[in-house]
Amino acid sequence: MAGQRIYFLMFNADGLGGVARTVRNLVSHLSNRHHVEIISLYRKRDAPSYAISPDVKVTYLIDRREGAPDQADAMASDLELTKATDAQLVETFNSLQPGILVSTRPSLHAAVARIAPRHLITVGQDHLNFETRSADPRVLVMLRESIQRLDCYVVLTKGDAEDYARLVASASTLITAIPNAIPWPVATTAAPLTSKIVIGAGRLVAQKGFSRLIQAYAPIARTHPEWQLHIYGKGQERRQLAALIMEQDIADQVVLKGHSNEFEDVLANASIYAMSSRFEGFPMVLIEAMSKGVPLVSFDCPRGPAEIIVDGENGRLVPDGDIPAFTQALVDLIEDPELRSRVGAAGLAAARQLEIDNIAARWEALFEQLAATRRAAEVAS
């Protein structure tokens, strides 16, 4: 199915975070065989945060950079877009050649469901989990109404696919799960796992639960002072986390490292990766660590870790919020180099299923299935 026209509709294609990174990774690969364009509702930066293939066209609809000419609309939320943004999208959608339009957040799914013309096959791609989406009843109602008018809805985990299938049980919309891909090649050999370093990474916000990680690590800092916990990332909780580290008197063992532009190398030189999130969609950082052969310890938060980690095989999956159990899982790996090596090797083998070639092939198969269904419907009518 070479030569398909594929459009990805994003809120802010230049932003930081998992959505921008995973979409750019996918479209760059798809552009090897297809005509791919990113349509970004807003532009907020002069340059993108993540690399993208020069074969991918990027179109911005509304300029929100500092010093840009004033434009009438307000920033849209996940509950509604404005009349001005709707007008922009109507004009843009009508100008597109027949192909597949993939939206990437609830407000954009709703816009596509309302105004996308018939010559576009519509696909919603969700980057969070059902439990988090359904926490706001207004968002859940919007999603139910939108998904029923899309051709397909793609989520990150099988559990989410089952939840959304129940939500729109009477609709003809195809509900399926495709995980995100690892953004770099899987290592040919596992990391040495000889450094005495545990890594955590992500935005320093409540969702990522780094206060839980620091609390879990504090006993280890006292009993294994030669080991260190390095936390990578920026965010609004940095001051509180730094205060917690000082309060626990573990500043020599727990370090807030800030952002790293060499995170792939950081992982390759770690011995354990620890994830303390309160919720996720499909945690990229877990599969990134697996791709280096680094063993994992994670809370079994909703949703994603349980579909990545097989407890005792490629990592440890700890009951969500059980801090003493998290501490013990880390200690088991810290004290047993052979266990670290076995678990890391199992993760490395599992990571190959999530290489970009395999994930892009699943998207291509889905696009072909949707195109065939549309052709059959047109012949029948």
CATH number for the domain whose boundaries are 197-354: 3.40.50.2000
* SS3 label, residue 74: coil
Task: Select 5-181+355-380's CATH number: 3.40.50.300, 3.40.50.2000, 1.10.3720.10, 3.30.300.30.
Answer: 3.40.50.2000
Which pLDDT belongs to residue 72? 43
Burial of residue 47 (number of CB atoms within 10 Å: 0-12, 13-18, 19+): exposed
Neighbouring C-beta atoms of residue 184, cutoff 10 Å: 15
Residue owning tokens 């970004």: 40
Same fold across 5-181+355-380 and 197-354:
yes
Give residue-wise pLDDT tens across range 51-79. Answer: 889 999 999 998 888 766 554 444 455 55
CA distances from 184 to 25, 203, 352 (A): 9, 21, 11
Which pLDDT belongs to residue 2? 63
Residue owning tokens 């047993």: 336
Separation between Cα atoms, residue 241 and residue 224, nearest integer Å: 21
What global pTM score does this model have?
0.85
Each of the 381 residues of the chain gets a pLDDT tens digit; together they read: 468 999 999 998 988 777 888 999 999 999 999 999 999 998 988 887 778 899 999 999 988 887 665 544 444 555 556 666 888 899 999 999 999 999 999 999 999 999 999 999 999 999 989 998 999 999 999 999 999 999 999 999 999 999 999 999 999 999 999 999 998 999 999 999 999 999 999 999 999 999 999 999 999 999 999 999 999 999 999 999 999 999 999 999 999 999 998 999 999 999 999 999 999 988 989 999 999 999 999 999 988 899 999 999 999 999 999 999 999 999 999 999 999 999 999 999 999 999 999 999 999 999 999 999 999 988 887
Per the DSSP assignment, residues forming a β-bridge with 121 are 100
CB 100 within 8 A of CB 41: no
CB 73 within 8 A of CB 107: no
CB 120 within 8 A of CB 27: no
Separation between Cα atoms, residue 213 and residue 200, nearest integer Å: 8
Burial of residue 145 (number of CB atoms within 10 Å: 0-12, 13-18, 19+): middle
Q: Helices in 148-224 by DSSP H: which ranges? A: 158-167, 210-223
Which pLDDT belongs to residue 85? 82
CB 316 within 8 A of CB 336: no
CB 367 within 8 A of CB 3: no
**Ramachandran quadrant class, 67 (left: phi over 0; alpha: psi -120 to 50; beta: rest):** left
Which pLDDT belongs to residue 73? 43
Domain boundaries, the chain: 5-181+355-380, 197-354
Task: Supply 115's token pair.
Answer: 């105004």
- Strand 296-299 vs strand 272-275: parallel, antiparallel, or unpaired? parallel
